Structure 1
Amino acid sequence: MTSTIIPDLQKPLPDHTQLPESDGTFVKNFQEHPQSIILTDSIGPLLEQRHPDGRYAIGQDCGIYWRETEPAEKGAEAPDWFYVPGVPAKVNGQTRRSYVLWKEHLAPLIAIEFASGNGSEERDKTPLYNEAGEVQNPGKFWVYERIIHILFYGIFEIKTNKLEVYHLADGCYQEIAPNERGHYPIGPLGVELGLWEGSYQNQTQIWLRWWDLDGNLLLIGSERAEIEKHRAEQAETQLEQAETQLEQVETQLEQAETQLALAETQLEQERLEKQRLLDRLRAAGIDPDNL
């Protein structure tokens, strides 16, 4: 049984540098890490626009400490991916090792779990206290909903490609229905969350992806680079075509100039021939003006 530690008011509460950053468990499948990267990479440009001061944090399989316990890691939940607006990515110049609620006082706007099993752990609503008032291990769903108050909570079952998204309303999670595109709008973030089939890091399968509210897929860096490469190739092709057309025009201009020079030469020859004829007539005593 995990016990809740009553804080010593004379002792300062620990921060992220004093709490464990891992509980020693293995990542449960090969999709979790690249799945987190896709979500972080694709939403990065949007978050940079929304937070020009850089005050936001993204956690990937990172602990959120919500209570003091012994051992300490029992007082944390570690969503596979979460986003917190309004907090710096570093604390006192140090990269975050975990997210400590009693130091930050700001809940994540969204957390997402990649369920390797049937999602029962991610949907566990077991409360902190049982009917006898005894402390017990609370379920992840209950902690996110009742303690941390994460505004949006997504559960993605990797085996079945099933996605559920919940929204916190009046202190309780309400499941969101997908829109006409099959996506789940995350209004405060200005995005939609949905499923996308494709290949990433040598894995072709269903992935969680972001779209904007108009249904445009938010691209990861390699996709953005590919588009820029394609645009650059198109621009280069258009430039080559323009250069070819210019060369053709220059050739045509040269040909026209040559033809003009030939015509001028011919006219000059005809003028000289006419003048010689007139001179011969006058030499013979014939006035060409009276002919």
Structure 2
Amino acid sequence: MYQTDPPRPAKEALPTMYDLPSEDPEQPGLPDEFHAFQPQLLRETFSPPDYPADQVFVASDLNLYYDPQHTLWYKRPDWFAAVGVSRLYEQRDLRLSYVIWQEGVAPFVVVELLSPGTEKEDLGKTLREISQPPTKWEVYERILRVPYYIVFDRYTDKLQAFQLVADRYSDLNLSTPQIWMPSLQLGLGLWQGYYQGIERLWLRWYDADGNWLPTPVEQESQRAEKLAAKLRELGFDPNQ
């Protein structure tokens, strides 16, 4: 049982996205380059085929408000995606935060990138006082009931995945570092390659055929290669 405030009067309006922005003066900036590049790669390759682009919302380092009884409580996932919800706030504005009692749709997948200071909480190994907000694990598992929770440690390249089964997270036994999500018709796995000029293992999305989904830069490069091949077929030198 979570400690809750007494019921609010019906006439009292809950705060909106505009009252609950994502900026937090006590947590300025991002901790390192990886925490900027990895979420960007996830965003660029996340394209579930059964959802139009205007019904997919992805975010990184954005405040996620989850409890209408404690409207200032939030978590800030490194990356999350919600499907079946408008890309824009009320179909017209870029979001300042993600407010669950307004959106009505919880994230489908959350990704946390481990760091030494957050590892225990990210893996559900911390306890809290009853008067304190719930931990990340409790929020994702018991309150928002996020179907997939992914944790990646870039220092050890260890990927862990948890799926919501019977109200609790079940640790998926990964024989290979890949997680297929049938409801999305997408998979998430570790890819060895160059991104932003850096070669390492990166998390990225793949399709039902096992193909890594391309970034916009890769798509443009593929189009250029096809055009060059067509020009050669017609007897032209694409370099001229």
TMscore range, shorter length? 0.7 to 0.9
Partner secondary structure for residue 38 of structure 2: helix
Would you say the 8 A contact 2:65–2:71 is kept in 1?
no
Between the aligned partners of 1:218 and 1:176, the Cα distance in structure 2 is 23
Q: What is the CA distance between 1:204 and its match in structure 2? A: 2.0
1:202 lines up with 2:203 in the alignment: no
How much does 1:142 deviate? 1.5
Contact 2:159 2:177 in 1 (8 A): no
Whole-angstrom distance in 2 between the partners of 1:70 and 1:191: 34
Task: Using CA pairs under 8 Å that are at least 6 residues apart, name the structure with larger relative contact order, 1 or 2.
Answer: 2
- Gaps of at least 5 residues in structure 1 are 242-291
1:55 aligned partner: 55
**CA distance in 2 between partners of 1:36 and 1:153 (Å):** 15
**Residue in structure 2 matched with residue 41 of structure 1 by the alignment:** 44
Deviation, structure 1 residue 20: 2.8
Q: CA deviation at 1:174?
A: 0.4
Once superposed, which parts of structure 1, at least 4 consecutive aligned residues long, lie more than 4 Å away? 3-7, 68-71, 125-128
Structure 1 residue 196: deviation in Å?
1.1
Deviations 1:253-286 (A, max 9, x none): xxxxxxxxxxxxxxxxxxxxxxxxxxxxxxxxxx
Alignment partner, residue 238 of structure 1 = 233
Could you tell me which residue of structure 2 aligns to residue 139 of structure 1?
Answer: 135
Q: Is 1:13 equivalent to 2:2 in the alignment?
A: no
> Which whole-Å deviations, capped at 9, do the CAs of 1:222-274 have from their partners, x for residues lacking one?
11111111111111111117xxxxxxxxxxxxxxxxxxxxxxxxxxxxxxxxx
- Structure 1 residues 145 and 194 mapped into 2: Cα distance closer, same or farther (>3 Å)? same
**So what's the TM-score if we normalise by structure 2?**
0.86
Amino acid at match of 1:101: I
Q: Which has the larger radius of gyration?
A: 1
Does structure 2 conserve the Cα–Cα contact (< 8 Å) formed by 1:125 and 1:139? no
| CA distance 1:57–1:71, change in 2 (3 Å) | closer
What stretches of structure 2 of length at least 5 have no aligned partner?
none
> Partner letter of residue 226 of structure 2?
R
Name the Cα RMSD after superposition: 2.4
Q: Structure 1 residue 127: deviation in Å? A: 6.2
After superposition, the Cα gap between the structure-2 partners of 1:159 and 1:145, relative to the gap in structure 1 and judged at 3 Å, is same
Q: Does 1:97 align with 2:103?
A: no
Deviation at 1:53, TM superposition (A): 7.1
Cα distance in structure 2, aligned partners of 1:67 and 1:125: 22
Q: How far 1:50 sits from its partner (Å)?
A: 2.3
Amino acid at match of 2:15: P
d(CA) in 1 for partners of 2:207, 2:230: 27
| Cα pair distance change 1:7/1:78, threshold 3 Å | farther
Is the CA contact 1:125–1:142 (under 8 Å) kept in the aligned structure 2?
Answer: no
2:197, 2:106 → 1: CA distance? 35
- Measure how far apart 1:69 and its partner are: 7.7
Distance 1:7 1:125, change over 3 A: farther
- Whether the 8 Å CA contact 1:177–1:184 is kept in 2: the answer is no
* Aligned counterparts of 2:212 and 2:70: Cα–Cα separation in 1: 44
Paired-residue identity, %: 28
Deviation of the 1:19 alpha carbon: 0.6
- Counterparts of 2:169 and 2:32 in 1: how far apart (Å)? 27
Q: How is 1:55-204 mapped onto 2 (pairs within 5 angstroms)? A: 55-67=55-67, 72=72, 75-92=73-90, 93-117=92-116, 119-124=119-124, 126=126, 130=129, 134-178=130-174, 181-204=176-199
Distance of aligned partners of 1:143 and 1:71 in 2 relative to their CA distance in 1, 3 Å threshold: closer
Measure, in 2, the Cα distance between the counterparts of 1:53 and 1:119.
Answer: 33
What is the TM-score normalised by the length of structure 1?
A: 0.72
